[in-house]
Chains A and B, each alone.
Chain A
Amino acid sequence: DFVMTQTPLSSPVTLGQPASISCRSSQSLVHSDGNTYLSWLQQRPGQPPRLLIYKVSNRFSGVPDRFSGSGAGTDFTLKISRVEAEDVGVYYCMQTTHFPLTFGQGTKVDIK
C-alpha cells in the first residue's frame, strides 16, 4: 500500500502565526496521466472532511488564500500563512493516484 506519513501529528500555533504540515508518500504519486493526485482535507471538530487543496497546489472553491499546497513526487506540504481560530481541526493528506486510496494519519492544529 502507499503509506502516507504526516508530520507533525500535533501543531499548537499562536493566532496570526504560520503553520506547516508535511506529508510524505512511500512511493511517487505521479499518475500515468502526468497528474499528481494529492489532496489536503480539513476536518473541524464534529464535522465531515472538507477539501482544501487538490492536485498538490490547487485551492478548492471558497478556500481562503492563506492555505497553500506545494510539493512533488513523494514530498508535499500544506501551509497556513496566518492561523485563525476557525482553522482549528485535523488536517489530512490523501492520495488518489494509486489503489488502495490512502490518507495520512492526520495533524491536529490547535491554538496555543
Chain B
Amino acid sequence: QVQLVESGGGVAQPGKSLRLSCAASGFIFSRHAMHWVRQAPGKGLEWVAVIWDDGSSKFYPDSVKGRFTISRDNSKNTLYLQINNLRADDTAMYYCGKDESAAGTSFVASWGQGTLVIVSS
C-alpha cells in the first residue's frame, strides 16, 4: 500500500534553513505529482508546493515563494522541501501528499503522517 514518511523536522532558529524529506513507497513515485501541505498548531491546512512527476514544473503560493523550494529524486523515491530564512510563522506540521495526476493537479489521494517544524530562538 502507499506509504509516505516525512522526516527532517525539528527545532530551528529564525533565519536558518531546513530540508524536509518524504520517502515514498507502494506506488510508482515517478508517475505522480507530489505536494507539501502545512498546518500551524490549532489551525487549518495550507498548501505550500507541488512538483510534477518529472520535476519539470513547480508551483508555490505567494506566501512562501522565494523561500521554499520543492524538489524530488525519482531514483530514490524521495520528495524534498527546502525552507530558507525560517520565520516563526513557518512553525507547523508539514505533510507530503501524492496527487493522482502526473503533470497537473487532480486530487491528493494519500498523505503522510507529517513532520513537525518549530521555529524558535
Contacts and interface: CB of A to CB of B under 8 A. Distances in A.
Q: How large is the interface on B (under 10, 10 to 19, 20 to 34, 35 or more residues)?
A: 20 to 34
A18 interface: no
Contact of B114 (A37, A48, A96): A48
B73 interface: no
Interface string B51-77: 000000001111000000000000000
B45 A49 contact: yes
B30 interface: no
B107 A51 contact: yes
Interface in B29-60: 35, 37, 44-47, 50, 59-60
Contacts of B35: 101
Interface stretch (A19-27, A74-82, A102-110): A102-110
Contact of A103 (B45, B99, B100, B114): B45
Contacts of A50: 111
A1 B60 CA distance: 12
Given A92-B44, A103-B44, A37 B107 contact: yes
Contacts of B114: 48
Grouping DSSP codes into helix (H, G, I), strand (E, B) and loop, the A interface class, with mixed when no group exceeds half, is loop
Interface string A1-25: 1000000000000000000000000
A94 interface: yes
A48 B112 contact: yes
Given A48-B112, A101-B50, A96 B45 contact: no
Interface of A: 1, 35, 37, 39, 41, 43, 48-51, 54-55, 60, 92, 94, 96-97, 99-106
21 contacts: A39-B107, A48-B95, A48-B112, A49-B111, A50-B111, A54-B100, A92-B44, A92-B45, A96-B106, A97-B105, A99-B59, A99-B61, A100-B47, A100-B59, A100-B61, A101-B50, A101-B61, A103-B44, A103-B45, A106-B44, A106-B45
The 5 closest A-B pairs by CB, nearest first: A100-B61, A54-B107, A101-B47, A96-B105, A48-B111
